[in-house]
Amino acid sequence: MRRALIFAACAVVTAALAAPAQAGPSSNTQGKTTEYVVLYKDGVSLDKAHSAVKAAGGTIVEENAAIGLATVRSTSTAFLTDARMQSAVDGVAPNRVIGEAPKLAHATANKSQAVEKEGRDGGHAGSSSHKPSGEPLADAQWDMKQIHATANGSYKKEPGDHRVLVGVIDTGIDGTHPDIAPNFDRSLSRNFTTDIPVDANGTEVDGPCEHPSCVDPVDEDDNEHGTHVASTIASPVNGLGIAGVAPNVTLVNVRAGQDSGYFFLQPVVNALTYSADHGIDVVNMSFYTDPWLFNCTNNPADSPEDQAEQRTVIKASERALAYAHRHGVTLVSAAGNGATDYTKTIIDASSPDYPSVPGEAPYERTIPPSCVSEPSEGQNVIAVSALGISTRKSYYSDYGNGYVAVSAPGGDTYDTADGKRDVTHAILAAYPKSLAQARGELNPDGTPNVPYVVESCKGSTCAYYQYLQGTSMASPHATGVVALIVSKYGQRDRAHGGLTLSPDRAESILEGTATEHACPTPRAFTYTRYVLNPDGTYSTVTATHTCEGSKSHNGFYGHGIIDALGAVTH
């Protein structure tokens, strides 16, 4: 069911600053420089596509030839109209604004924080009296125990193979983190984003640029999200902190997310095609492509321009996903944190979440199942719902029978006996030290001063970890299991070296070895949360989600709860 992030010379994706285009049609008037993404007609020659862009008054500044997607700049106020009239063009959409660094303090606003950090402030921290088995913080990893990714579980049978490459399409990876560095491939990693100081409304987005050309190094994560995801997948067994699902595989940063947590079309497409062309075995996609949570082809609430933009997002995304799948990349995605059934008609008021023109703001739309959230509803994408410590579907997790493929631990700080928050019921994974310091979460001696940050030291080497929750945290668990599957059953990759396995077979093993889990009884499950108010009192919040389907496949659990041990011993 569909709701319905300097390239090597051999890379297909090319970035080139072209000479200014010849003047477009005489009807064009000159305005400020605006940026667009242009999707070429499928199969059209590059020469014809380039001529079409030029005829409309545009200059190509970046192009993905494999998919037929280009970033274009133009001063023509009629570029959108003129470009869409070209026979070689399949779609045009405004791109992010071209900004200048403002004289403001760096205050990044991560658009995913509301759910992922819910329950950390004021939450009571749990404790364990058990002697740790495995890594020093293993007892805090209830998530790994839930899927049998432990020292006495899957690690013993198959800890992963370093020849297996896992692409993290996210906000970056802190490749210097002591519990990531041993498995991080800096030379293969790429950053497809450019920091955005301010948006079209003048609101700070990524903040002032900290590096030349506003491009971060490939081993930097100024957000936190990508580092947490990468750690869950493949933190090594090294006597420090935690271990990931597949502690011996290789992590590749294929960055498509801004510091602020936005993921735009061109970087996402570039990240997918790069992964396909460089032998990446599986990618994790814990995001949706901005600015539309749901892309509709003809929603009456949308203007013709917005409809055209959403059609472009769908077409370009599906081409990139298909290209990656054909080239042996298994595609894994977070299901979403909206607490909605994607197979039903819903109301959404969150899009567009990023203004492409001044004054643009989100508005309410009725979303039928025919609308598409990219990439989670894309073809050949494994959508993962989130579970709490009790194995109940997390209160925030999106769901839907036929949408969710599998389920995995993503955390639920309210999945407690009393319905009050416990930060340790979220997911613990790596946290960049630079962010912990900048946010005042460490004491002068380096010890954490907040309950959601944890320190682990081995000799003089110390590392930091934090608790987050979300389907963004569930998806990397499934990605890690896929990496184990490729490690166990993969064949030699004659094209790129390393190992490879058909994405269809990898998905089949992942789903076939998942532990079936029936819908709750009654199927209409009511979540009761006691939310702490600033004054110390609690508010009661309830929500009811209905699970549809059978024990073997339903809207909460998909084919079941992923099982790392089962996947490598079936």
Q: Which pLDDT score is estimated for 133?
A: 56
Query: Is the separation of the CB atoms in 124 and 421 below 8 Å?
Result: yes
What the block records as the tokens of 378 is 């894309």
| Structural domain count of the chain | 2
**Do residues 82 and 126 both lie within one domain?**
no
Which domain CATH number covers 259? 3.40.50.200
Cis peptide before 291 (omega within 30 of 0): yes
**Do residues 54 and 175 both lie within one domain?**
no
Residue 2 lies in a domain: no
Q: Which pLDDT score is estimated for 244?
A: 98
Cα(563)–Cα(512) distance, integer angstroms: 10
First and final CA of the chain: distance in angstroms? 28
Strand, coil or helix: 84: helix
Q: Which pLDDT score is estimated for 358?
A: 83
Nearest alpha-carbon partner for 315 in 379, 382, 263, 271: 379
Three-class DSSP labels, 310-349: HHHHHHHHHHHHHHHHHCCCEEEEECCCCCCECCCCEEEC
**From the CB of residue 132, how many other CB atoms can be counted at a distance below 10 Å?**
13
Residue 544 lies in a domain: no
**DSSP secondary structure letter of residue 199:** -
Residue 542 lies in a domain: no
Which domain CATH number covers 80? 3.30.70
Query: Is the separation of the CB atoms in 31 and 401 below 8 Å?
Result: no
Residue 301 lies in a domain: yes
Query: Is the separation of the CB atoms in 476 and 406 below 8 Å?
Result: no
Q: Which pLDDT score is estimated for 320?
A: 98
Query: Is the separation of the CB atoms in 305 and 357 below 8 Å?
Result: no
Three-class DSSP labels, 12-72: CEECCCCCCCCCCCCCCCEEEEEEEEEEECCCCCHHHHHHHHHHCCEEEEEEECCCCEEEE
Query: Is the separation of the CB atoms in 177 and 231 below 8 Å?
Result: yes
**Do residues 201 and 65 both lie within one domain?**
no
Sequence-separated (6 or more) residues with CB below 8 Å from residue 288: 263, 336, 373, 374, 375, 376
**Do residues 349 and 424 both lie within one domain?**
yes
Nearest alpha-carbon partner for 251 in 327, 317, 187: 187
- Residue 455 has phi, psi (to 5 degrees) of -110, 145
Q: Which pLDDT score is estimated for 203?
A: 87
Query: Is the separation of the CB atoms in 452 and 389 below 8 Å?
Result: no
Cis peptide before 178 (omega within 30 of 0): no
**Do residues 341 and 427 both lie within one domain?**
yes
Strand 165-169 and strand 282-285: pairing? parallel
Nearest alpha-carbon partner for 209 in 288, 104, 308, 127: 104
Bridge partners of residue 255, in order along the sequence: 191
**Do residues 466 and 368 both lie within one domain?**
yes
Q: Is 398 exposed, middle or buried (0-12, 13-18, 19+ CB in 10 A)?
A: buried
What the block records as the tokens of 367 is 């979303």
Q: Which pLDDT score is estimated for 95?
A: 85
What the block records as the tokens of 122 is 């004021």
Please give the C-alpha separations between residue 211 and each of 122, 195, 216, 253, 485, in angstroms, as whole numbers.
36, 9, 6, 18, 38
Residue 432 lies in a domain: yes
DSSP string across 262-311: -B-HHHHHHHHHHHHHTT--EEEE-S--TT-SSB-SS-TTS-HHHHHHHH
**Do residues 56 and 162 both lie within one domain?**
no
Q: Which pLDDT score is estimated for 39?
A: 98
Q: Which pLDDT score is estimated for 208?
A: 87
Cα(412)–Cα(201) distance, integer angstroms: 35
**Do residues 29 and 172 both lie within one domain?**
no
Strand, coil or helix: 372: strand
* pTM listed for this prediction: 0.92
Residue 19 lies in a domain: yes
Nearest alpha-carbon partner for 413 in 503, 532, 330: 532
Q: Which residue has tokens 């003809």?
A: 298
**Do residues 76 and 117 both lie within one domain?**
no
**Do residues 327 and 275 both lie within one domain?**
yes
Q: Which pLDDT score is estimated for 122?
A: 52
Give every residue of the chain whose pLDDT is below 70, as ranges.
1-30, 96-113, 121-133
Query: Is the separation of the CB atoms in 434 and 374 below 8 Å?
Result: no
Cα(185)–Cα(511) distance, integer angstroms: 29
Please give the C-alpha separations between residue 395 and each of 312, 475, 477, 526, in angstroms, as whole numbers.
32, 16, 18, 9
Cis peptide before 352 (omega within 30 of 0): yes
**Do residues 50 and 153 both lie within one domain?**
no
pLDDT tens sequence across 353-394: 998 888 889 999 999 999 999 999 999 999 999 999 999 999
Residue 139 lies in a domain: yes
Residue 320 lies in a domain: yes
Strand, coil or helix: 105: coil
Specify the amino acid at residue 212: P
Three-class DSSP labels, 393-435: ECCCCCECCCCCCEEEECCCCCCCCCCCCEHHHCEEEECCHHH
Last residue within a domain, chosen from 62, 94, 126:
94
**Do residues 417 and 508 both lie within one domain?**
yes
Domain that holds residue 68: 13-94
Strand, coil or helix: 183: helix
**DSSP secondary structure letter of residue 174:** -
